[in-house]
């Protein structure tokens, strides 16, 4: 009986402290930050803090898809901001193929919010694909094309 009372007292104290930490009062000003414990939102729930839609800049996302639309897509993650294409071979140069990975790193429309990686392979005589060097300017040209398209989309949206 005595041991159960000794156990109950700390449990009650911890519970009371946890409950007090979660308590908050409604702010009189809607723009004012509320106190209390913040828990992550569940999918489908409304939250004032979480932006709606994808987790990256929508103009960069759309512009990336538009710019590399001639290549087949292999993997697309709009929340992580990653687009990976499958291998693409130009019909005029069937012994060479390319793969592109686009990383959108920020929610703002900025030049440093975008990173492009280009991979190239050449077919050898026995028909095997071997990695080949890529001109670094190729990735820069794709980044610039994406940024130009993103600016066009932003202007068209009126932002």
Average pLDDT for runs of 10 along the chain of length 159? 55 52 46 44 44 78 96 94 96 95 94 95 92 96 97 89
5-50 confidence digits (pLDDT tens): 555 555 565 555 444 444 444 444 444 444 444 444 445 544 344 4
Please say whether the beta carbons of 47 and 41 come within 8 A. Answer: yes
pTM of whole model > 0.75?
no
Q: What is the DSSP string of 45-89?
A: ---SSSPSS-SS-HHHHHHHHHHTTTSPEEEEETTTTEEEEPPB-
Those residues with Cβ within 8 angstroms of residue 41's Cβ, 6 or more apart along the chain or in another chain: 47, 49, 50
Q: What is the SS3 assignment for 44?
A: coil
Please say whether the beta carbons of 152 and 144 come within 8 A. Answer: no
d(CA 114, CA 125): 37
């Amino acid at each position: 009986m005595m041991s159960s009372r000794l156990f109950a007292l700390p449990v009650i104290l911890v519970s009371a402290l946890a409950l007090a930490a979660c308590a908050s009062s409604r702010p009189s000003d809607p723009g004012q930050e509320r106190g209390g414990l913040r828990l992550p939102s569940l999918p489908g729930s409304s939250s004032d803090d979480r932006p709606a839609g994808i987790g990256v800049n929508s103009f960069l996302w759309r512009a990336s898809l538009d710019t590399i639309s001639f290549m087949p897509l292999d993997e697309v993650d709009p929340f992580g901001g990653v687009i990976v294409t499958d291998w693409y071979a130009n019909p005029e140069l069937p012994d060479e193929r390319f793969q592109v990975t686009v990383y959108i790193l920020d929610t703002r429309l900025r030049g440093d919010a975008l990173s492009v990686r280009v991979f190239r392979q050449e077919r050898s005589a026995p028909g095997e694909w071997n990695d080949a060097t890529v001109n670094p300017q190729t990735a820069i040209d794709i980044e610039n094309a994406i940024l130009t398209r993103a600016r066009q989309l932003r202007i068209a949206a009126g932002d």
